[in-house]
Structure 1
């Protein structure tokens, strides 16, 4: 059924699915560390980002981008974009939670949306080869 949809539409659906699964991993670890482990929300957010990044890599390589690069080449490229997302997450969460004093969970949602745009573009045009160009 999905194969009948335009390629870009399939890619967006797969990216959204992968993102939901990565977010479940990220937010699960974040909330568990903060609420059960009494961890700092910024540090917990970054730990969740790493776990979500692993889930995201596996699912996006397999489902979203139909990678033609080798795993070795795609993984270092993915890691570079993910590191940018990691830094952006840390900066945004620090500003929202530590500087502005806003609640960590709603600010994680805002941060996730911002970082999602950055990482999608980076992974589409840098991490994974795109078989049909665009």
Structure 2
């Protein structure tokens, strides 16, 4: 079976359910993908800080970018079952992620330098805040296809 047909079928099934049930299922899938992307992000962060002795804010930003590659790939196919062409989706994803990246850098600087929190605690708080921004932006704008 053509993978595109399967993806569109999954997307249609999600839209045919009650909107809140579909949203909850989509958010759950987003969280699962987010966990995989978080491993890439945090793994990079810890490696760069502990082994590379890089500043935690810079390491967090690099880790965020690594997690972003994982996130785009898995969310496009599994969370949002989007058939938006890559040429349209990639730049939208990059813009949403870029704004999330700026938010990540600002929050990490505020929490580590301004409030003196340990970098991992600051990263956990930052991740929680940026999670809702990224889900909303990607759901509403990046992967949504208006028909």
> Fold match, TM over 0.5?
yes
Q: CA RMSD in A?
A: 2.0
Partner of 2:7: none
Contact 1:124 1:130 in 2 (8 A): no
Q: 2:83 matched to 1:89?
A: no
The alpha-carbon deviation at position 130 of structure 1 amounts to: 5.3
Q: 2:121 matched to 1:101?
A: no
Q: 2:143 matched to 1:128?
A: yes
Contact 1:30 1:47 in 2 (8 A): yes
Cα distance in structure 2, aligned partners of 1:96 and 1:82 = 20
The alpha-carbon deviation at position 18 of structure 1 amounts to: 0.5
The alpha-carbon deviation at position 68 of structure 1 amounts to: 2.3
Contact 1:65 1:130 in 2 (8 A): no
Contact 2:84 2:145 in 1 (8 A): no
Q: 2:90 matched to 1:79?
A: no
Cα distance in structure 1, aligned partners of 2:23 and 2:56 = 36
* Unmatched tracts of structure 2, length 5 or more: 1-9
* Unmatched tracts of structure 1, length 5 or more: none
The alpha-carbon deviation at position 12 of structure 1 amounts to: 1.9
| SS in structure 2 of the partner of residue 66 of structure 1 | coil
Cα distance in structure 2, aligned partners of 1:26 and 1:8 = 25
